[in-house]
Amino acid sequence: MITKKIEKLLNDQMNFEIFSAYVYRAMGAYCDVRDLSGFSNWFKIQAKEEEIHAEKLYNYILDRGGAPLYMGFGDPGHNWETLQKVFEDALKHEEEVTERFNKIMTEAVKEEDHATRSFLNWFIDEQVEEEAAAKSIVNQIKIVGETGPGILMMDREMATRTLTTVAE
C-alpha cells in the first residue's frame, strides 16, 4: 500500500508523462512542417516512450492499492524559431522530468517505501539516457548548423530510430 502523498506524486508524474508525449508530438509536428521527417520520427518515438512510462506508472499505482487519476494539461508549445531551440526545449523538458522523479524518490526514501524506491530506480536510470540523447542532438545541431548537408544527414539518421521494448 502506498501513502496518499506518494500516490499523488505518482499520479502527477503519470499525467506529466502523458503531457510529455503531447509535447513531443508537437515538436514532431514542427519538424514535419519543415520536411524534416527523420527528426519528426525521433520525436514520435519519444512520445510513444512517454506513453509507455505513463502506463508503467498507472499499473504501479494500481498494484500498490492506489487509484490512477487523469488530469488535464496545458499548451505543449508550438512557436519554436529553430530546430536547435526545439531540441534545447526537449533537453530542458527531460531535465524537468528527472527533477520530478528525483522528488518522488526523495519522498519514497523519507517514507521508507522500499517498493516505490525500487520501482523508481528504472526511471532514474532511464532519465540519464534521455538527457544524454537530447544533449547529443543539441550539440550535433550546433556543429552542423540548420542548413546544408549536415542537417540532412542527421535527419536521415533520426529516421532510423525505432521504438525499443521498454523493460518492465
Q: Can you give the pLDDT at residue 26?
A: 97
What is the set of domains in the chain, with CATH numbers?
4-159 (1.20.1260.10)
Q: Can you give the pLDDT at residue 77?
A: 84
Mapped onto helix, strand or coil, the DSSP state of residue 56 is helix
Average pLDDT, the chain: 95
Q: Can you give the pLDDT at residue 167?
A: 53
Q: Are 26 and 76 in contact (CB under 8 A)?
A: yes
Question: What would the pLDDT profile of 81-118 be if each residue is shown by its tens digit?
Answer: 999 999 999 999 999 999 999 999 999 999 999 999 99
| Average pLDDT over every residue of 34-38 | 96
